[in-house]
Amino acid sequence: MTHQLLHSLPSPTALVCGSGGLNAAAQAGMLKALGSYRPDLVFGSSGGALTVASMYVGEDPAQQAHRRWKQLAESKFMHLSWGRVYSAVSGKETARQTRHVEELLGELFGDADFAPGAVQSVVATNLGTGLPKVMNQGRLAPAVQASAAFPVIANPVERDGTILIDGSFSAPLPVAQAFEGGARSIIAFDTGRAGLRASQEKHFRWYDVALVSINHQVAANAAHDVALVAAQIPVVMVSVPDPFRVTLADIGSRINLGERMAREQLAGIAERWSSISDPGVYAAAPEVVEDRRLSGLVR
Amino acid sequence: MALRRRNAPGTSLQVPGARPRAVIDDNGGILPLSRLLTPPVWWTLAGGGAHGAVQLGTLQAIRETDLEPEQLLGSSAGALTGALIAEDPVAAVNRLFYLWADLDLTDLVGGGWVGMVSPTSFTRSSLADNAGEMASLEEVYDARRFEDLVIPFGAVATDMISGQPTVFDSGDLLPALLASSAIPGVFPPVEIDGSYYIDALASANLPASLAMRRGAGSIVAFDTGSSPDKTIGTSLQQLVPAVNALLSTQQRISSLAQAAAEVPVLYLPTPADLPGSLSFNESFTTSRDSYLLARAFLLDLAAAYPTGSPALEPGLYCRPDAFSIDSENLSRVVRPVPVRAAAGGAS
pLDDT, tens digit, 9 for 90 and up, residues A97-145: 788 889 899 999 999 999 999 999 999 999 888 889 999 999 999 999 9
ipTM of the prediction greater than 0.85, yes or no: no
pTM: 0.88
> B65 and B31 in contact (C-beta within 8 Å)?
yes
Q: Which residues of A touch B128 (CB under 8 A)?
A: none
Residue B250, chain A, CB below 8 Å: the answer is: yes
**Chain B closest-CA separation from residue A56 CA (Å):** 32
Whether A206 and B243 lie within 8 Å, measured CB to CB: no
Q: What is the crossing angle of helices A82-90 and A94-109, to 10°?
A: 120
- Within 13 Å and on the Cβ side, how many CA atoms surround A179? 18
> A101 and A111 in contact (C-beta within 8 Å)?
no
- What distance in Å separates the CA atoms of residue B36 and residue B50, rounded to the nearest whole number? 31
Which residues of B are designated catalytic?
Answer: 76, 199
Give the lowest-confidence range in A267-271, A276-280, B224-228. B224-228
Whether A88 and B121 lie within 8 Å, measured CB to CB: no
> Within 10 A of B17 (CB to CB), how many other CB atoms are there?
14
Task: Evaluate if residue A77 carries a pLDDT over 70.
Answer: no
DSSP state of B207: T
**Which residue, A174, A193, A293, A217, is CA-closest to B258?**
A293
What is the rounded end-to-end Cα distance, in angstroms, of chain B? 21
B233 vs A213: which has the higher pLDDT: A213
pLDDT, tens digit, 9 for 90 and up, residues B159-174: 988 888 999 999 999 9
Residue contacts between A and B (CB atoms, under 8 Å): 126
- What distance in Å separates the CA atoms of residue A221 and residue B134, rounded to the nearest whole number? 32
Q: What mean pLDDT value characterizes chain B? A: 85
Q: List phi, psi (to 5°) of B94.
A: -65, -40
Q: Which residues of A touch B248 (CB under 8 A)?
A: 217
A130 → closest Cβ in B158, B160, B325: B325
pLDDT, tens digit, 9 for 90 and up, residues A178-201: 999 999 999 999 998 876 544 455
Whether A204 and B243 lie within 8 Å, measured CB to CB: no
Residue B18, chain A, CB below 8 Å: the answer is: no
Q: Which residues of B touch A193 (CB under 8 A)?
A: 163
Residue B274, chain A, CB below 8 Å: the answer is: no
Q: How confident is the model at residue B14 (pLDDT cuts 50, 70, 90)?
A: low
Whether A127 and B242 lie within 8 Å, measured CB to CB: yes
A36 vs B23: which has the higher pLDDT: A36
* Beta-strand runs (E) in chain A: 13-17, 41-45, 120-126, 132-135, 157-159, 162-165, 185-190, 234-239, 280-283
| Chain centroid offset of residue A95 CA | 27
Whether A89 and B246 lie within 8 Å, measured CB to CB: no
pLDDT, tens digit, 9 for 90 and up, residues B179-198: 999 988 888 899 999 999 99
Q: Which of residues 44-73 of B touch A (CB under 8 A)?
A: none
Return the C-alpha torsion angle A117, A119, A123, A128, nearest 10: 30
Radius of gyration (C-alpha) of chain B in whole angstroms: 20
- What distance in Å separates the CA atoms of residue A167 and residue A47, rounded to the nearest whole number? 9
pLDDT, tens digit, 9 for 90 and up, residues B222-235: 999 877 765 566 66
- A163 CB-contact burial (10 Å; exposed 0-12 / middle 13-18 / buried 19+): buried
Q: Which residues of B touch A224 (CB under 8 A)?
A: 250, 254
3-state secondary structure of A43: strand
| Chain centroid offset of residue A8 CA | 24
Whether A169 and B243 lie within 8 Å, measured CB to CB: yes
